[in-house]
């Protein structure tokens, strides 16, 4: 399964934002183990660098980005993606860009904590805990679309 990670899911781990960091870290571990193909939008990488540098310094941010580039595939943001995002109807342009990049990159879905941001998605949208179902109640895994 190839999943595009919304920026907030990665930031939860890098900035240790509890309580979200726990499930998001488990999801990143699945990518590390090769159980899931993780993708990031190219704009996610720049956003993460900016926020991580503000929070932890430039040196730390560079190390984090290096780790992410080794771990994740990167969905390109080109003119076609941007034009599709403009006409896609998303209220937040950045989310529309990630959605269109995900489509162009051929992912199976998007993982986010902000379902409302992807209400118009043409792809399945998952929460981090839907990708990793509860061990005792796997039927609780769901798709938001």
pTM value is: 0.86
Q: What is the rounded CA–CA span in Å between residue 118 and residue 108?
A: 15
- Report long-range pairs for 79-86 (Cβ below 8 Å, ≥24 apart): 80/104
Highest mean pLDDT among 24-28, 102-106, 110-114: 102-106
pLDDT band at 132 (very low <50, low <70, confident <90, very high): low
Residue with tokens 């879905």: 109
Residue-wise pLDDT tens digits, 43-68: 999 999 999 899 889 999 999 999 99
Name all domains of the chain by residue range, CATH numbers in brackets.
2-140 (3.40.50.1010)
124 Cβ neighbours under 8 A, 6+ residues apart? 108, 109, 110, 143, 144, 145
CB atoms within 10 A of CB 138: 9
Measured distance CA(117)–CA(140) in Å, rounded = 22
């Amino acid at each position: 399964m190839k999943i595009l990670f919304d920026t907030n899911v990665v930031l939860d781990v890098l900035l240790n934002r509890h309580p979200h960091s726990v499930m998001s870290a488990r999801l990143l571990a699945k990518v590390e183990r090769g159980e899931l193909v993780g993708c990031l939008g190219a704009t996610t990488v720049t956003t993460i660098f900016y926020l991580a540098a503000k929070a932890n310094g430039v040196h730390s941010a560079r190390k984090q980005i290096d780790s992410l580039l080794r771990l994740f595939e990167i969905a390109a943001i080109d003119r076609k993606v941007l034009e599709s995002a403009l006409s896609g109807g998303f209220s937040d342009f950045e989310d529309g860009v990630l959605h269109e990049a995900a489509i162009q990159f051929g992912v199976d879905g998007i993982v986010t904590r902000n379902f409302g941001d992807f209400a118009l998605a043409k792809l399945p949208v998952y929460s981090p805990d839907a990708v990793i179902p509860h061990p005792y109640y796997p039927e609780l895994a769901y798709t938001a679309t």
